[in-house]
Every structure is written in structure tokens, then in C-alpha cells.
Chain A
Amino acid sequence: SQTIHQWPATLVQPVGSPLSLECTVEGTSNPNLYWYRQAAGRGLQLLFYSVGIGQISSEVPQNLSASRPQDRQFILSSKKLLLSDSGFYLCAWSGDLTLSYTFGSGTRLTVV
């Protein structure tokens, strides 16, 4: 069966520090991968999506970047965090023939 792993679960980082969040998928190949952010009191915003290795599309201009070095690995990064980067980050995958996403358990990032 397919599973999605996301880590760490919680993270507290100082302003200006780098960030790396990792997401991996098991049990499927060539998944579509997504990073969403849920800011406090707000809905889910799509940040990045990827349809294949090295293929990244950005939905909103921001301080973050994403990479997909392997088929089932999706990384969210920042060189210098801002206070406004705080939020709950969710990774998700979908297949070409499925309509629904499977989400990871999320990472709660607090920038202080």
C-alpha cells in the first residue's frame, strides 16, 4: 500500500536560519507531489507541485523553494526564514488516475 512520510513533525527555527523539510512516498511510482501551507486561521495554500524528477512549479512568489531529487522525494527549503514563514506545512501526493490526494501528517513550523 502507498504511504507518505513527512518530517519533522514540529520545528522551531530562528529568523534568518535555513529550512529543509522532507517528504517521501512509498508504494507508488511517478507520483504528483505537492507542498501546501496552512497559516494560522487561514485555509490551505498550494505552494509547489511537481509532476516528475526535477520538475517544480511554484504557485506563489515567496521565500521558499522546492526540489525533487528523486522520484518519490520532495523537499521544501529556505535559505533564510522569515517570521511570516510560520505555519503548518503539508506534503501530499496524487496519481495520474486518481482524483484524491493523500496527505502527510504535516510539519508545524514556528519561526521565532
Chain B
Amino acid sequence: GNSVTQMEGPVTLSEEAFLTINCTYTATGYPSLFWYVQYPGEGLQLLLKATKADDKGSNKGFEATYRKETTSFHLEKGSVQVSDSAVYFCALMSNAGGTSYGKLTFGQGTILTVHP
């Protein structure tokens, strides 16, 4: 079945530090890949997505590249801010048909805390 593995947190950084949150996946076919963010006390918001190999999703200074050869979709940001403190979820949606079609499979989430 489909699965997503994220680096374990929590991750604690100082403001303006470089961020990487690793994400690897297992899926049949060619899934679409997503990063969602959950700010304290809120639901999930879509941060960025990529639908095919070598696509780069980007938003709010965050980037992630769909790497089919390494089955990875690592999240990066060059300079984090205190306001980036949140939980980040990597997810995939299978496009292979069958019972997995259209459903999101999430990683376990990574807590990011950014200090001033």
C-alpha cells in the first residue's frame, strides 16, 4: 500500500536558519505529492504540491522537488521565521486507480519551532 515517511521531529531552529524536512514515499503508479502546514490550534492548509517527476512546488519561500528516482519530496526553506513555527505534513495522493484513488496518505508530521 501507499505510505509516507517523514523525518522525526521536533525540529528547533533559530530565525534565518536553513530548513530541511525529509519526506520519502512508497506508492504504486505516479502519485501527486503535497506538503500541508498546521498552525497551532488550526486545521491543515495546503502549502505546496507537485504532480509529476521533477516538478518543483513552491510557496511562501518553501520549496520541494518531486524526485522519482529517490522517491522523495523534501521540504526546504532558506531562511525561516518565527511565524513558520507549525506542524508540517508530507502527503501523497495516488493516481493509480482502485481503492486508493483520490485519497490522501499522510506522514506522521514534523513539529517545527523557530526561536527569535
Contact = CB atoms under 8 A, between A and B. Distances in A.
Interface of A: 6, 32, 34, 36, 38, 42-44, 46, 49, 90, 92, 94, 99-106
How would you classify the secondary structure of chain B's contact residues: helix, strand, loop or mixed? strand
Contacts, number: 44
B103 interface: yes
8 contacts: A44-B44, A44-B106, A90-B43, A92-B44, A99-B32, A102-B46, A103-B44, A105-B42
Contacts of A49: 103
Interface of B: 32, 34, 36, 42-46, 49, 51, 89, 93, 102-109
Contacts of B45: 103
- Could you say which of A34, A101, A104 has the most chain B C-beta atoms within 10 Å of its C-beta? A101
A46 B104 contact: yes
A68 to B, nearest CB: 16
Contact of A100 (B34, B103, B108): B34
Given A43-B89, A44-B109, A106 B104 contact: no
A32 B104 CA distance: 12
Contacts of B103: 34, 46, 49
